[in-house]
Structure 1
């Protein structure tokens, strides 16, 4: 394939039978739907004049298909938005964990994944915004470190199927943090976090949130879908959180392994995926073919473009649209 930056492999499901059953029940993933969808996406990438190059390996494409429950048209839109935003914003490229700001943020444990999975097999991501100094770091540093952590996790197929739990320790977060992003930037970040990142957010738990920033959290809640909103919970302390197995968390949060040890383990996991993350910069789109709003991350702008493309090419989109969206998640 001319546009491929990675090999278009013949996929074989190599995970456990339990994961195979879970993928079929929750994501409608079978051998037949998977083979059809992978071929459809590869053909679409090759024929899409706006995409110059993209990964064609099954694992990369499946992260989007699984996040969108194998709805091919919705997956197409998600992939193109992802590729466009990667290229439109510098902080989504060169995801090098050894850059000075990234190294410091990772060392301090601003964001990391704990080594053990929870009782449902999901990876648990801990975010500690209070250790992010808004006077020392830029908002682009925050977005970049999140990007490299999430990209690392999305390379794992089990994560693609089981999803993620986010635990946000809001200790030390106050009004100065509200100046990191403009309202317009905040809206687009929240909307793209749900619609563009191919991640199954299963639980989002925040605790010790200062009253001065509660209004910002309420504002963000109003921007996401009801399904995601129902999975976001605020607590006064971690002691009040019952959905998380405390034993897998750092000892500072009631577990047994010190946070510093978990951070080093996570950094080693990230380092192993660095060649893949850096090679992702080979993926390109033709920016001049997109509107300014689409390049800035407006969800509606690219959706309109896809609707127009669908009308112009019934043969490309018609059959793929037969994949219905399941509500099981």
Structure 2
């Protein structure tokens, strides 16, 4: 996570075109944009501690379509959220047996194959969350964090974004009671309002009356832009196939004897991703990300109207 590392762009050809068209990314101006962003961070390092390597900062610039002010706001929100919610984001180790066991529940799955748009596909299965009391909501949320943060350094993911399938099957009243208003607010703050990800679609499948009650609680927190990307498929997998190619999906989401099955079962996908998370270089990246080294000193943080005024919009970089 060194600011002095030699940066080499890893965007694929299609991602480069999309970045230019949709995100205002100019390869000739890319590094100067990062340098300007980094300079602003250095000017505020009395209260803001963050990695400043190029790929990490590009995640925020791309999310903000290279508008410096918007990138800075999201970075500050990112670390403010994680500082205020240490129980979800501090001192996480992907070798921790509790983290591994929570991931193995399969309540959140990262599929190994991207769709035709190059988007990462995630499956949420709230009904698989533990309701016996063996694991707390905080344990479960701590297991989700590395599964998303793994992709922070994936430049193609930064550009192409994510598609989320929310399978609400096996949802019970006990699952509903796990998600009080405070948990919903923290979830939306951490993963929707401050995370540098492009969510290109959220697809609800296997919905039922319990889901309807839960959705009524958290839907008001969705940004308007994301509300336009919500899709409801009831119990019709054929509807889902119009948006997500069958070859990307686990066997549980395919017709019997489907010739397009390529990624194995949902549990196969879970085990594959655990192996990826536990690679030494990935674990090291995540250990540092969740260390006390980074965050916001809340008592020193300026008020937003002082921090993001017009004077901060442009910086001269030597």
TM-score bin, normalised by smaller chain: 0.7 to 0.9
Q: Paired residue for 1:69?
A: 65
Q: Paired residue for 1:276?
A: 285
Q: Deviation of residue 306 (structure 1)?
A: 2.3
Gaps of 5+ in 1: 291-301, 321-329
Pair 1:262–1:309, CA change in 2 (3 A): closer
Secondary structure of 1:262 counterpart: helix
Q: Paired residue for 1:82?
A: 78
Pair 1:96–1:57, CA change in 2 (3 A): same
1:54 matched to 2:50? The reply is yes
Q: Deviations over 1:228-249 (max 9, x none)?
A: 0111112222333121111221
1:110 matched to 2:121? The reply is no
Gaps of 5+ in 2: 255-260
Q: Deviation of residue 253 (structure 1)?
A: 1.2
Q: Deviations over 1:306-329 (max 9, x none)?
A: 222234xx54x1326xxxxxxxxx
The within-5 A match list for 1:109-258 is 109-136=106-133, 137-237=135-235, 238-241=237-240, 242-254=242-254, 255-256=261-262, 257-258=264-265
Q: Paired residue for 1:37?
A: 33
Structure whose residues are more often helix by fraction? 1
Q: Deviation of residue 10 (structure 1)?
A: 4.7
What is the alpha-carbon distance in structure 2 between the residues aligned to residue 110 and residue 220 of structure 1? 18
Bigger mean CA deviation after superposition, 26-35 or 5-14: 5-14
Q: Deviation of residue 250 (structure 1)?
A: 0.9
Q: Deviation of residue 113 (structure 1)?
A: 1.1
What is the alpha-carbon distance in structure 2 between the residues aligned to residue 259 and residue 47 of structure 1? 46
RMSD: 2.1
1:285 matched to 2:296? The reply is yes
Pairing partner for 2:307 from 309, 312, 315:
309
Q: Deviation of residue 36 (structure 1)?
A: 2.9
Q: Deviation of residue 101 (structure 1)?
A: 2.4
Bigger mean CA deviation after superposition, 163-172 or 219-228: 219-228
Secondary structure of 2:204 counterpart: strand
Q: TM-score, normalised by structure 1?
A: 0.84
Q: Deviation of residue 191 (structure 1)?
A: 4.1
Bigger mean CA deviation after superposition, 254-263 or 66-75: 254-263
Aligned residues: 300
Q: Deviation of residue 26 (structure 1)?
A: 0.8
Pair 1:50–1:224, CA change in 2 (3 A): farther
Pair 1:49–1:265, CA change in 2 (3 A): closer
Q: Deviation of residue 6 (structure 1)?
A: 2.4
Q: Deviation of residue 39 (structure 1)?
A: 1.1
Conserved in 2, the CA contact under 8 Å of 1:165 and 1:202? yes
Conserved in 2, the CA contact under 8 Å of 1:191 and 1:224? no
Secondary structure of 2:76 counterpart: helix
What is the alpha-carbon distance in structure 1 between the residues aligned to residue 313 and residue 3 of structure 2? 27
Secondary structure of 2:55 counterpart: helix
